[in-house]
Amino acid sequence: MHTLSPLLVGRPISLADLEDVSRRGRPVALCPEARARIIASRRAVDAIAEAGDAAPAVYGINTGFGALAETRIAERDVIALQKNLVRSHATGVGPDLGEPEIRAMMVLRAQVVALGYSGVRAEVVDLLLSMLNAGIAPRIPSQGSVGASGDLAPLAHLALALMGEGESSFRGERMTSAEALARAHLRPVILAAKEGLALINGTQYMAAVGALAVRDALALCTIADVAGAMSLEANKGSKRPFDERLMAVRPHPGQAACAANLRAMLDDSEIMQSHADCPRVQDAYSLRCMPQVHGASRDALGWAADVLTREINSVTDNPTIFLRDDGGADLLSGGNFHGQPLALALDLAAMAAAELANISERRVEQLVNPALSSGLTPFLAPQSGLHSGFMIAQVASASLVSENKVLCHPASVDSIPSSAGREDHVSMGSVSARKLAQVIENVRTSLAIEILTAAQGIDQRRPLRSSAAVERAHAAVRAVSPTLDEDRPLYRDIAAVRDIVLSSVLRRAVEEVTGSLR
C-alpha cells in the first residue's frame, strides 16, 4: 500500500505532488469544497440543456465545434454531440505515451474540472480519480496535437476511456477500456452536455509531459555539478573560481547554487593539494565556468517550473463558467486553452537542459585528449595504441550533444492554421514537450559518460585521493562499473552509471558527505 497521504484534487498542487501521483502511485481524492464547486457549475450547464431548443446558442453545449461553432445542434442530439466529439478527435498517432505521463494527464484533467469552472458532473471526476487509484491508464498516442484548442487528440483518447471505449492498461496489462473498467469494478460514463468538450479542451498533455521533464532536468542540474566536480579532480583543476566572493558580485541564484555545491564537494582533496603550486593559472572554461553555465540552466529551468506550476492550477477549457451572486451564470468563450505560455517555457527548458550535456562533453574531451589532460594517458587507456579506452565514449557524447542541438530548434515559433482557419495560430506546445523529454534522456546519458570517464581519470591519480564527497561518487560508480584495465564494450557501463543517476543512488552517496545539495 502506498504510504503517502492522498493528494486532494481541487486544491493547489505542486510539480512534486504531480510527480508523486504519476511516478510513485500516490492516491488521489477530491477535496470536499471542490465537489461543491463542481455541482454548482454543473447547474448552469443543466439550465441551458433543460431549456432545449429555446435556449440561446452556447458554444459546445448546443453548437458544433471549431469552424462549426455557428451550427446549432437540436436538443435531441446534444448527448450524441459529446460522444461524437470525443470519437472524432481521438486521432492520435505515433508511439504510445508512457504510463507516468498518462497518469499526470489524468490528475491534471481532474484538477481543471475540480476548480469549478467547467460544468462537468462530479461522477465524471470521480471516475477519473477512481481509474487513477485502480491503476487504469488509457492508451494515449504521443503525437497529433498542435496545442491550440488545447491538446485535443491526446485528451480525446483519455476521454474515450471514460466512455468505456478505446484501449487501456490495467495494472500493466493492455486490454479494451471496457474490460479494464470492469476488472476494477468501475462503470463507464455517458457524457452529458458540454462534458466531452470540457474533457478535451486544455493543455494537460503538454503540461504533464513538460512538468515531469522539467522535474528531471532540475535534478540533472545537481548531477551535472557532481560530474563536474569529478572531472575537475581527475584533471587536476582548481576550486578557486567557485569562491563565494566571486559569486556575490554577480548574484544570479543558479550560479550561486552551483558554486555552493562545488565548494561542498571539493573540500579537503589530496589531488588539489598536490598541484597547489603548479604553474597553470586558469582552467578551461568547461571546468572554470561551471557555476555560470550550470547556473544559467538552473535559472531558466526554475522559470519554466514556475510557469508549469501556474498552469497545472489554471482553468484551460472553453467556454468557462462564472457563477454570479444572483444565482445565474456567465459562460465566457476565450482562449485559455492556447498553449503558447507552455510552448515558450518548454522550448527554453530544452535549451537550458541541453547546455548541461554540451559543457559535459567538453569536460570529457579535457580528460581524454592528452594535450589537455594534465598527465592522463591518451583516451584514459591502460596502454594507449593497443587499447582505445574512452575514445568512442567521447564520440557517443558528441553524438547526443549534436542531436540535442537539432531538438532545441523551438517548436513555438511555428504555426500551421487548423479547423478551416478558425484556429489560425497554434502553439505546437506538444512538440515542445516531446522534444524536451528526449533532450533530457540524452543529457542523462551524456552525464553518465562524463561520470564514468572522470572515475577512470581519478583512478589514474592514485595513490592520491580526491575529496571525501568525490570519493563517495567514485565508489558508487565502481560498485557498478570496474576500472577499465583493458578494452571492453562500454555500453553496459554507461547504462549502469545512467541507472545510478536515475535512481538517485549517486546523489545520495555524495550527500552522505555534503548534506543536501542544492
Residues involved in catalysis: 59
Q: Identify the bridge partners of residue 72 per DSSP, sorted by sequence position.
A: 63
Q: What per-residue string of b and e applies to 294-309 under the rule 16 or more CB within 10 Å gives b?
A: bbbbbbbbbebbebbb
468 contacts 268 by C-beta, under 8 angstroms: yes
Say how far apart CA 202 and CA 320 lie, in whole Å: 12
Angle at 443 between CA 380 and CA 223, to 5 degrees: 75
Question: Coil, strand, or helix at residue 328?
Answer: coil
DSSP state of 387: B
* Peptide linkage before 417 cis (omega within 30 of 0): no
The grid coordinates listed for 431 are 512538440
Q: CA neighbours within 13 Å on the CB side: how many for 236?
A: 18
The grid coordinates listed for 255 are 550560479
Q: What are phi and psi of 505, to 5 degrees?
A: -60, -45
Helices (H), 312-414: 340-368, 391-407
- Among residues 412, 269, 249, which one has the least CA distance to residue 339? 412
Say how far apart CA 450 and CA 445 lie, in whole Å: 9
Helices (H), 136-252: 152-162, 177-183, 195-200, 204-234, 244-248
- Among residues 36, 35, 63, which one has the least CA distance to residue 49? 63
Overall residue count recorded for the chain in this entry: 518
Say how far apart CA 413 and CA 343 lie, in whole Å: 9
DSSP state of 52: G
- The interaxial angle of helices 340-368 and 204-234, nearest 10 deg, is 20
CA dihedral 347, 353, 355, 358 (to 10 degrees): -120
